[in-house]
Amino acid sequence: MNKKANILVVDDSENMLEIIRRNLSSGGYVVYTVTNVMDAISFLESTEIDLVITDLKMPNINGMELVRHVKENYKNAEVLVITGYPTIEDAVESVKLGADEFLIKSFTDEELFHSVEKAIKKQADRQKINYHEKDNKLITGIIGGSKEMVKVYKSISKAAKLNATILLTGETGTGKEIVARAIHYNSMNASAPFIPVNCGGIPEELLESELFGYVRGAFTGAVETRGGFFQAADGGTLFLDEISNTSQGMQAKLLRVLQEKEVNMIGSNKSQKVDVRIIAATNVDLHTLVQKSNFREDLFYRLNVIPINLPPLRDREDDILLLVNHFAEKYACEIKKETPVFTDPVIKIFMDYYWPGNVRELENIIQRLVIMSDENRIDVPDLPESMKQSVMTSKRINRTLAEVEKEHILNVLASVDGNKSKAAGILGIDRKTLREKIK
Whether 138 has a pLDDT exceeding 70, the answer reads: no
For residue 194, list its beta bridge partners. 237
pTM: 0.60
d(CA 392, CA 114): 43
The model's confidence at residue 294, banded by pLDDT at 50, 70 and 90, is very high
- Tell me where in the chain the CATH 1.10.8.60 domain(s) lie: 314-397
CATH number of 139-311: 3.40.50.300
Give the tens place of pLDDT for each residue, 241-251: 999 999 999 99
Q: How confident is the model at residue 430 (pLDDT cuts 50, 70, 90)?
A: confident
The residues of the chain that CATH labels 3.40.50.2300 are: 6-127
Question: How does DSSP assign 323-354, residue by residue?
Answer: HHHHHHHHHHHHTT-PPPEEPHHHHHHHHH--
Mean pLDDT of 145-172: 92
CATH topology of domain 314-397: Helicase, Ruva Protein; domain 3 (1.10.8)
Contacts of 80 (CB under 8 A, 6+ apart): 51, 52, 53, 54, 99, 100, 101, 102, 103, 115, 116, 119
Whether 184 shows a pLDDT value over 70: the answer reads: yes
Give pLDDT, residue 329. 92
Which own/partner pairs from 197-201 qualify as long-range (CB within 8 Å, at least 24 positions apart)? 197/229, 197/238, 197/239, 197/240, 197/241, 198/241, 198/242, 199/240, 199/241, 199/242, 199/243, 199/245, 199/246, 200/241, 200/242, 200/245, 201/242
Looking at mean pLDDT, say which of 75-89, 171-185, 341-355, 409-423 comes out highest. 171-185
pLDDT tens, 125-136?
555 444 443 444
| pLDDT score at 383 | 92
Count other Cβ atoms within 10 Å, centred on residue 432. 9
- Residue 46 CB neighbour total at 10 angstroms: 6
Domain limits, CATH 1.10.10.60, in the chain: 401-438
> From CA 187, how far away is CA 236, in angstroms rounded?
9
Yes or no: say if 352 and 397 are a contact pair by the CB < 8 Å rule: no
Class of domain 6-127: alpha beta
- pLDDT, one tens digit per residue, over 196-248 is 999 988 988 889 999 998 988 878 887 888 889 999 999 999 999 999 999 99
Residue type, 331: Y
Residue 304 has pLDDT above 90, yes or no: yes
pLDDT bin (cut points 50, 70, 90) of residue 98 is low
CATH of domain 401-438: 1.10.10.60
Q: Other C-beta atoms within 10 Å of 322: how many?
A: 15
